[in-house]
């Protein structure tokens, strides 16, 4: 069993920006040389998360609408009182989604469904550079 790690960096626009990172994750698995195992993706920071979706414009729009209903960006948050900032909704949204995802791989390929992509969702209220740690455990 070997453990390898790479960092993937992406730029986001914030405001529930949904970014497909499937290609970068797949390339990390390929470069590891492992044939079978798991890939763990983890985004550093408390205002973004990682999940899988069918990455298409309608669903991306649906996700933004759903998150706005759950934790409105312009809502009142005690976090704003604590730090004097404006991203309380981003923290609530990200904590509900979670910062990590584990995906198995077989024959050197991520085991994803036909319409399933890995996405980073950046909920912050400003553009950000996001670092995603991709840790490969395999053989």
Number of H helices, E strands in the chain: 4, 8
In a domain, 17, yes or no: yes
Q: Give the tens place of pLDDT for each residue, 13-38.
A: 999 999 999 999 999 999 999 999 99
Q: What is the CATH number of the domain that holds 64?
A: 2.60.120.460
In a domain, 2, yes or no: no
In a domain, 5, yes or no: no
In a domain, 46, yes or no: yes
- What pLDDT does 91 receive? 98
In a domain, 66, yes or no: yes
Q: Give the tens place of pLDDT for each residue, 37-92.
A: 999 999 999 999 999 999 999 999 999 999 999 999 999 999 999 999 999 999 99
In a domain, 37, yes or no: yes
- What pLDDT does 37 receive? 98
pTM for this one? 0.96
In a domain, 1, yes or no: no
- What pLDDT does 76 receive? 93
Residue 71 domain boundaries: 13-138
Structure tokens belonging to residue 14: 């914030």
User: CA-based angle 12:18:21, to the nearest 5?
Assistant: 85
Q: How far apart are CA 66 and CA 86, in angstroms?
A: 20
Report the pLDDT averaged over residues 90-102: 98
Q: Give the tens place of pLDDT for each residue, 103-139.
A: 999 999 999 999 999 999 999 999 999 999 999 999 9
- What pLDDT does 62 receive? 98
- What pLDDT does 93 receive? 98
In a domain, 81, yes or no: yes
The answer for residues whose C-beta is within 8 angstroms of residue 133's C-beta and 6 or more apart is: 5, 6, 7, 40, 41, 42, 43, 44
How many domains does the chain fold into? 1
């Amino acid at each position: 069993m070997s453990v390898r790690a790479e960092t993937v960096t992406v730029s986001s626009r914030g405001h529930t920006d949904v970014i497909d990172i499937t290609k970068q994750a797949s390339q990390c698995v390929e470069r590891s040389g492992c044939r079978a195992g798991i890939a763990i993706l983890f985004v550093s920071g408390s205002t973004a998360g990682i999940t899988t979706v069918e990455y298409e414009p309608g669903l991306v729009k649906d996700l933004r609408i759903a998150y706005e209903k759950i934790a409105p960006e312009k809502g009142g948050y005690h976090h704003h009182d604590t730090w004097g900032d404006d991203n309380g909704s981003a923290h609530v949204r990200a904590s509900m989604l979670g910062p990590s995802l584990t995906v198995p791989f077989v024959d050197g390929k991520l085991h994803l469904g036909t319409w399933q992509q890995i996405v980073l969702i950046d909920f912050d209220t400003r553009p950000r550079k996001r670092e995603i740690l991709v840790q490969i455990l395999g053989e």
